[in-house]
Amino acid sequence: VIGSVEWALSDRTPPVLIVVGNARNDIVATAVQHVMGGRAPHVLNEQLEKQLSDSSLLNLVMPAVHDAMQRRPRGTYEEVLALACEMNVWRTVETLLANSKAINESAANGSLRVVGALLDPSTGAVQLMGQHPSLAELIKSTPSGDLVRTADDAPVPAVEAAAMLYAGNSRYASSKGGYNSISGDDKLLCKLCE
């Protein structure tokens, strides 16, 4: 996704990048059901739930669900789901700012506003969430800007390709895939939930 966004921004930088999340995301709903256990109603059909529970996508949204549960430990399924969908949008914004030099620098110099939004698929309404509450903190450190290679790039020797792969894997492993850990930051979680 980051490469696609950077490519879209390379020609012209629009004034706003809107990160839209689905307010009724089946993957987030399944993750909430798993975390809440018996407190959650069974809202998905069994076949879809089985497919999603075996999906690696479920692991990607779990941090947002855990953050939502931390904020609303006694919340209803609907409250936790709504909050988890919002937290998922914020985590995506964090990932873009933490891993893309182009997006980070554009946000830092004010030429690009990165905002979150939630789409309600039942009505088509989009609720703008604004900029990330910790934007100032997120743009303080600029990512390295290592380029993503495509099929259009000139070939490189195998040793260089292996070194690039190793460096990329090391970055991924050291940063936990671009997800910032905010689970222990109650002040930030409160801001994200407002």
Q: What is the mean pLDDT of the chain?
A: 80
Output the pLDDT for position 176.
Answer: 43
Output the pLDDT for position 88.
Answer: 95
Alpha-helix residue ranges (DSSP H) falling in the chain:
2-11, 26-36, 46-53, 56-71, 77-99, 101-108, 135-138, 158-174, 186-193
Output the pLDDT for position 180.
Answer: 43
Residue 154 reports pLDDT greater than 60? yes
With cut-offs at 50, 70 and 90, classify the pLDDT of residue 31: confident
Residue 151 reports pLDDT greater than 80? no
pLDDT digits (tens, 9 = 90+) for 166-179: 666 665 565 544 44
Output the pLDDT for position 181.
Answer: 46
With cut-offs at 50, 70 and 90, classify the pLDDT of residue 3: confident
Other beta carbons within 10 angstroms of residue 33's beta carbon come to: 23
Residue 157 reports pLDDT greater than 90? no
Tokens representing 173? 């492993």
Contact 14, 2 (CB under 8 A): no
Contact 179, 91 (CB under 8 A): yes
pLDDT digits (tens, 9 = 90+) for 44-75: 556 666 666 666 778 888 999 999 999 999 99
pLDDT digits (tens, 9 = 90+) for 113-145: 999 999 999 999 999 999 999 999 999 988 876
Output the pLDDT for position 117.
Answer: 97
Separation CA 163–CA 165 (nearest Å):
5
Q: What are phi and psi of 35, to 5 degrees?
A: -70, -40
Output the pLDDT for position 26.
Answer: 83
